[in-house]
Structure 1
Amino acid sequence: MATESSVWNTCNYNHNVTFFYDLVGKNISVGWTPRDSVVIGLGLTLCVIVVLANLMVMVAILLNRRFHFPIYYLLGNMAAADLFAGVAYANLMLNTGPWTRMLTKEQWYIRGALIDISLTASVANLLAVAVERHQTIITMQLHSNMTKRRVVLLIVCIWVTAIIMGLVPSTFWNCECDLEDCSTVAPLYSRRFLIFWAVLNLLTFFIMVAVYTRIFIYVRYQSRSMSQHTSEMRHNQTVVNLMKTISMVLGAFVICWTPGLMTLLLDGLLGKASHANSYEKYCLVIAECNSLVNPIIYSLRDDEMRRTFKWILCCLCQRGAHQQREPSTVEINSPLPEETLGFVQKSAAQALCKTQDTNDKDGWTDPRV
């Protein structure tokens, strides 16, 4: 009995990926079915859309000076995390099914690490946004006084943390030395690591929801104590509009990622008894859809973001048609405090491009001037 226990606890570094899949009873497809081909085709198409949509958000924030504030830099970093998630999911699509048998353990760990990094970066960004909004709104400010250097340092810390969390399973917290601890969803991962990771993320969700709840209660109380004809009321309404947008982003993130995290938690706690393999793919698809939801929320909630999107698409179409006109960099003069968030009058994309050519001022001209 002691000999059997000793053999069982010996590290299994020489075994391949297939050994661990067979150990937990997770089947690897032998060949491609028409259904698998359709799923991968749709998945890769979704990844392309996710990458392009979030790239547009990042370009819009870079070009439009009205978005040159800490809160928008963090939202831009959120778009970068969503773009990274699209790349990670595409890599997963290209290394799944029968292709899984051809993966080395290093390649398998990289495949999982990319997903872990994208989720950790998204959660850390949301937490940073929540702290930034709490600091500015409670102190009755529209934007944080955080310098660009501090914002860059914060963004770097977010990605360093995400990379470290992604590398943890491959470096030391796996089940290669404890086969009883192998996960059924991710056969080389330790079930204890999945419990830790899922609980940490779910706890972060609850903290962010609590922070935003406190902010909304505070803003609502301040709104009732102000006259509707004061500049403070207009300022407060602008804050509320941005808070609604950020809350929609947070809500979409929680809705899309909670099923996946609960699946990992159940798998970590129950193992094979959780039957997580029967529905984990659906949870992963829902989680990936979150990376596409955020650009949609930005375009529906923020008129200024929508105008910038139209300008970018307009200029790309004109450049693709080999027209002589070259779009210049978008630089918008800083607006009044209550207008800083970009909730301004709508303007057609063609008018925006035409304005760029007929004005020699810095950046766009305010349509109300």
Structure 2
Amino acid sequence: MDFPNCTEGVFATNCSVNDSLDTTKLPPSKILLTMTLSALAILTTFFNCLVITAIAVTRKLHHPANYLICSLAVTDLLVAVLVMPFSIMYIQKQTWLMGQVVCTIWLSVDITCCTCSILHLAAIAIDRYRAITDAVEYSRKRTGARAGAMVAVVWLLSILISLPPLIWRHYSGDSEQEDQCIMMHHHMAFTLYSTLGAFYIPLMLILILYYKIYRAAQTLYMRREASRASRHSCMTNGSMIPSSYPAGEGADDGGPPSPEPVSPREKSFSEPSTEEPPRERVRASVKAFQSKSRRKESRTESRNESRRSQFSQGPRISGSRERKAASTLGLIIGAFVVCWLPFFVKEVIANTCGSCSTSMEMADFLTWLGYLNSLINPLIYTIFNEDFKKAFQRLVRCSHYL
């Protein structure tokens, strides 16, 4: 423990003056850290506001599935506006200057909003799982009212998870802890209750559901590839059903059509003043018919080639979609685990092990690593959606919306 280099008596005033001068001068590393954290808070605010505005003004995005995305963006916006600024001031001053009432309010908002953000990710996983495994039935149940009910349940669970540790928060009687604002209790039950409800149970739920989503998507792709392969084999074996062609194309594949009589318009192409003999007119009509039949055959062959190439590229397209889906799920799960797992591991160790302790710098780093998830969420959950991309482009260009 470091002690201040001060003496009592007449030198006490000089010591306090020097301390005040030292505290007014921030080191460059502290200034750089403050600027970096402020930039993260501004970016988190900007991107979440962009998602909320895009959903609000774009009618194409007014879908029950996007209501959960919008609620997640609102929650992450609250983290950026109500939690991050106070944390930046706390890190900069290294002491809490706003009293214990404001400290309790800040901690309650911090824990509730972060828990709500995590539970939103679990709710989105549940929604996507039901949409892909029970698409027909769930499409009828997937209404705005049901999405609103899911959002209400998420907020209610977040409050129920964060309230008990706040109510039974341990206030230390040491004078060293009077100027600190930390969640500190030594009750094993509250530690397990808060960490399991806020992170570990949602983590297991997200991992299981996204694994099942990936398996279900893989099964759908395999079924589509099998259907494409069967249709391709039917085409190559010459057993395509004639009714599958549009009207007017059946004659092209069923053999050469019967010669058509020359229409009056085709007769008028030969001027009467030339006075062609009947034999020359017959040759001209035969040549016109042959060129017309060759054009029809070439068009039919090109259509068949395009169908064959489409069927042959089916497995490759579905494979690329499968890889894209796997990479998207990997980004979602990876970002969530990297941002929040270290923090909750530290929370379990610090509140259950009496002799274990972490430095203030490490605690702040792990806390802000969790806050970083509020910046990543609006990027991951919208950047792979073409409708959101177009809405963002229109927002940035300040254009009109449909």
TM-score (norm 2): 0.62
In structure 1, the residue matched to 2:89 is: 94
Shift of 1:154: 1.9
Q: 1:199 aligns with which of 180, 196, 199?
A: 196
Kept in 2, the 8 Å contact 1:32–1:98? The answer is no
Q: State the shift of 1:84 in Å.
A: 1.5
Question: Given the superposition, is the C-alpha separation of residues 31 and 158 from structure 1 closer, same or farther in structure 2, using an over 3 Å criterion?
Answer: farther
- 1:168-213 deviation line (CA, Å, top 9, x unaligned): 333x22113899xx9xx96453233344322331232012101111
2:158 is aligned with 1:162: yes
**CA distance in 1: counterparts of 2:100 and 2:170, whole angstroms:** 12
Answer with 194-203 or 304-313: which moved more.
194-203
- One-letter code aligned to 2:209: V
Aligned-partner SS, 1:307? helix
Match of 1:322 in 2: none
C-alpha distance in 2, partners of 1:277/1:47?
20
Provide the rounded CA distance (Å) in 2 between the counterparts of 1:178 and 1:256: 33
- The answer for the alignment partner of 1:106 in structure 2 is 101
Aligned partner of 1:55 among 24, 42, 49? 49
Distance in 2 between residues matched to 1:221 and 1:178, nearest whole Å: 60
Change (3 A) 1:93 1:268: same
**Alignment deviations for residues 243-298 of structure 1 (CA, whole Å, 9 cap, x no partner):** 86465334312211111111111111214523353511111222222222223334
Q: Where does the alignment leave 5 or more consecutive residues of structure 2 unmatched? A: 1-21, 232-310
Any conservation in 2 of the 1:194–1:265 contact (CA below 8 Å)?
Answer: yes
2:380 equivalent in structure 1? 297
Q: Which amino acid aligns with 1:102?
A: L
Structure with a larger share of its residues in helix: 2
* Partner in structure 2 of residue 33 of structure 1: 26
Over 3 Å counting, the alpha-carbon distance change for 1:152 and 1:140 in structure 2 is closer
Change (3 A) 1:306 1:256: same
After TM superposition, give the deviation of residue 74 of structure 1 in Å.
0.8
Look at both structures and tell me which one has the larger radius of gyration over its CA atoms.
Answer: 2
Matching of residue 222 in structure 1 with residue 232 in structure 2: no
2:391 to 308, 321, 342: 308
Counterpart selection for 2:58 from 58, 61, 64: 64
* CA–CA separation in structure 1 for the residues paired with 2:44 and 2:358: 30
Q: Secondary structure at the match of 1:102?
A: coil
**Are 1:266 and 2:349 matched, yes or no?**
yes
Find 1:129's aligned residue among 124, 127, 130. 124
Query: Which residue, out of 105, 114, 119, partners 1:119?
Result: 114
Match of 1:251 in 2: 334
Q: How far apart are the structure 2 equivalents of 1:77 and 1:244?
A: 24
Q: Which residue of 2 aligns with 1:82?
A: 76
CA distance in 2, matches of 1:63, 1:243: 31
Please give the alpha-carbon distance, in whole angstroms, between the structure 2 residues aligned to 1:271 and 1:69.
Answer: 50
Q: Report deviation, 1:239.
A: 9.7
The one-letter amino acid paired with 2:201 is L
The count of aligned residue pairs is 286
Aligned residues of 1:116 and 1:166 also touching (Cα < 8 A): yes
Cross-structure match for 2:133:
138
Considering only aligned residues, what root-mean-square deviation do their CA atoms show, in Å? 3.4
The DSSP-based 3-state class of the residue aligned with 1:225 is helix
2: CA distance, partners of 1:222 / 1:287 = 35
What is the rounded CA distance, in whole Å, between the counterparts of 1:241 and 1:196 in structure 2? 37
Question: Residues of 2 paired with 1:206 and 1:55: CA distance?
Answer: 30
Check the 8 A contact 1:126/1:250 in 2, yes or no: no
Q: CA offset at residue 159 of structure 1?
A: 2.2
- The one-letter amino acid of 2:204's match is F
Give the equivalent residue in structure 2 for 1:22. none
Q: Give the letter aligned to residue 48 of structure 1.
A: I
CA distance in 2, matches of 1:265, 1:186: 19
Q: Is the 8 A contact 2:54 2:388 kept in 1?
A: yes
* Contact 1:212-1:247 within 8 A present in 2 as well: no
| Contact 1:54/1:295 (<8 A) preserved | yes
Given that 2:49 and 2:73 are in contact with CA atoms closer than 8 Å, whether structure 1 keeps it comes out as yes
Q: CA deviation at 1:236?
A: 11
Rounded to whole Å, the distance in 1 between the matches of 2:163 and 2:128 is 30
Residue 341 of structure 1 aligns with which residue? none
Task: Please give the alpha-carbon distance, in whole angstroms, between the structure 1 residues aligned to 2:216 and 2:334.
Answer: 19
- Residue 44 of structure 1 is aligned with which of 34, 38, 41? 38
Contact 2:343–2:366 (CA<8 Å) still a contact in 1?
A: yes
Q: What SS does the corresponding residue of 1:100 show, helix, strand or coil?
A: coil
- Asked if the contact 1:92/1:111 (under 8 Å) is kept, the reply is no
